[in-house]
Chains A and B, each alone.
Chain A
């Protein structure tokens, strides 16, 4: 009888253990074919090593779809366990939907092998919320094949603003009509990176979370608008109606890819994607003036974060730890989500030509970087409205002085919101 009870008890224990172990982690991310394949390989490796844990990828094609879906899911009370985040991580932390990961550090999550700067970038209000998926940097991409065809000199990787302008002028004389030395990179609907860079260069960074304030002044914003007005008036960037013909949200709407501009703006992790849409060869150079001011920055291309209401937070963190630190995962994931920030993962190496170009760029520009500026609250609205003000100046509807005032007002309003 006692034996029987023991057996039943043992079976019961086994059953509960299996039950406890059999959990499904929902992992929401955005990406396309190659990322989906790589991610699935990593999932398979993880599931093989951790029987009883299933990982269900909930993948959307692009950030817009991803956040529409995740927001609705969270509002509806069924958010995924792991959420891929971008520069808007602050907004989600402020709204209290992400889980602080501090109690898992050291036991489930090994942060000691991850670059301190990457750990710092995922730390907000002294709590770790996001684990960096990899590093990316803003860069200028130029069309090397085009320059060679027209017999123009190739640009230096590091230039001052004066050298850069002189170079654009020299390009202009070589390029055929309808092809411009540079895209109008002053503002985009989906990101404000070039403006963000320039404010760092100018010593007036956009936002500081510690003081909840901006260092940008009306005069500084006006100076920026005038810088591009000068480029525009001299034909170094296209006139506004030509520029507006390219949405610049993707390679398909890019002036650089269409062959209408010699230089454009991208993030380094986009190089492979852009390169795949053109036969011309693309190369990377820095924003002007980075060497002297260290105004560039390395940014996490994305973060892995955990939903505060996750039923299996520990397993979710365990999976994240696997994704960022395991050499096996690094091998299948590659640099798809940015150049890895984990020493153990980086040791796995890469042979891809675009990865190599990015690595070379990171080597030169890494020393020309400093800590990333905090993201302006309400990132999306800032980008969208900055772009509108910038366009008004470009079309000559308002002066740079008025535009500067509007940008300043916008920043103040969003910080207060």
Chain B
């Protein structure tokens, strides 16, 4: 009885701390949402958070996109690219990570160091040679330059992430599996994949979010407006040398956050359950 009250009080305190900190986190989104309902000619002149006049015009106009292509098309393109990248990263980064973390082979340390090096060169200077490669393949103005590299596990961030997670798994697990007659691939599929679920979910989430936001590459490789993506569409509302449509830009910014919110919200439940190793061990 006493125990339960104590637990309640501690939960109450946690709630309060979380909420107070959270208000600071929420402010920008509230501002963004409020701005998306303001008339364009008051966004930067009216300092009040809550707009005096509500208008849905920004959403209506923003959804029409850039006049020749609707915003729905940008969403569709972004979804296709992100979906393929997620699938590729989960499969190929985890395969590679498994090799680095668990397998013994000549040159392992060397290749691992090489992989880490690929993370350290700023991408702006490799832009042009990469463009030349994809152009010689005839891939310009297609989604291929954005998607195919992921099928070759070029995202070293996720490899390193998964390596760290796999290495922290108790090793006795694969030994017992080996005894049970699993091959390397069997261990990967039956032991490593399920046990690194939190890390794989993280990979899914970050791949999606980062690909969704990856403006620079999409700008370089996509030429036809019908193939443009969400971040490209957002940039097309703004032009420093002429007309900028701030209202629709903010409205579509809000809308572009929705898939990220939904994905995040639905995936975060996988971080709820701690793993138990007993079941497998026994």
Known: A69-B219, A257-B45. A36 touches B68 (CB 8 A): yes
Interface range, A side: 35 or more
Question: CB within 8 Å of B: which residues of A?
Answer: 26, 30-37, 40, 56-63, 65, 68-69, 72-73, 75-78, 80, 86, 190, 249-252, 254, 257-259, 267, 269-270, 272-273, 276-280, 301, 336
Contact (Cβ within 8 A) A37 B68: yes
Q: Please, what's the 1-or-0 string for B215-246, where 1 marks a CB less than 8 Å from any CB in chain A?
A: 01001100111000000100111111111111
- Say if the beta carbon of B267 comes within 8 Å of chain A: no
B237–A61 CB distance below 8 A: yes
- Contact (A36, B240) CB under 8 Å given A72-B128, A76-B128: no
Tell me whether B127 is interfacial, beta carbon within 8 Å: yes
* Distance in angstroms between the alpha carbons of A272 and B128 in the assembled complex: 37
Question: In the complex, which of the residues A31, A32, A278 has the most CB atoms of chain B within 10 Å of its own CB atom?
Answer: A32
Chain A proximity of B44: nearest CB distance (Å): 5
CA gap between A70 and B92 in the complex, in Å: 33
Q: A252 and B246: CB pair below 8 A?
A: yes
Contact of B219 among A68, A190, A273, A301 (CB under 8 A): A68
Q: Does A36 lie within 8 Å of B236, measured CB to CB?
A: yes
Q: Given that A26-B223, A57-B225 are contacting pairs, would A63 and B248 also be in contact in the complex, using a CB cutoff of 8 Å?
A: no
Are B241 and A34 touching (Cβ within 8 A)?
A: no
Query: Cβ of B41 < 8 Å from any Cβ of A?
Result: yes
Q: Are A59 and B225 in contact (CB under 8 A)?
A: yes
| Residues B45 and A33 in contact, CB atoms below 8 Å apart | no
| With A40-B67, A62-B240, A277-B44: A33-B220 Cβ-Cβ less than 8 Å | no
CB pair B238–A32 under 8 Å, yes or no, is yes
- List the B side residues contacting A60 at CB < 8 Å: 219, 235-236
**Option from A59, A63, A273, A279 in Cβ contact (under 8 Å) with B236:** A59
B264: which A residues are within 8 A, CB to CB?
none
Assess the B243–A61 pair: CB atoms within 8 A.
Answer: no
Cβ of B40: which chain A residues have Cβ within 8 Å of it?
276-277
Pairwise interchain contact B67-A30, C-beta atoms closer than 8 A: no
Are A33 and B219 in contact, CB atoms less than 8 angstroms apart? Answer: no
> A36-B67, A69-B219 given as contacts; is B239 within 8 A of A30 (CB)?
yes
Taking the closest CB of chain A, its distance from the CB of B124, in whole angstroms, is 9
Which of the residues A59, A78, A257, A267 comes within 8 Å of B140, measured between beta carbons? A78
B50 at interface by CB-CB < 8 Å: no
Please determine whether A32 and B140 come into contact, CB atoms closer than 8 angstroms. no
Contacts of A61 in B (CB 8 A): 232, 235-239
Query: Which A residues lie within 8 Å of B128 (CB)?
Result: 72, 75-76
What separation, in Å, do the CA atoms of A62 and B236 have in the docked complex?
8
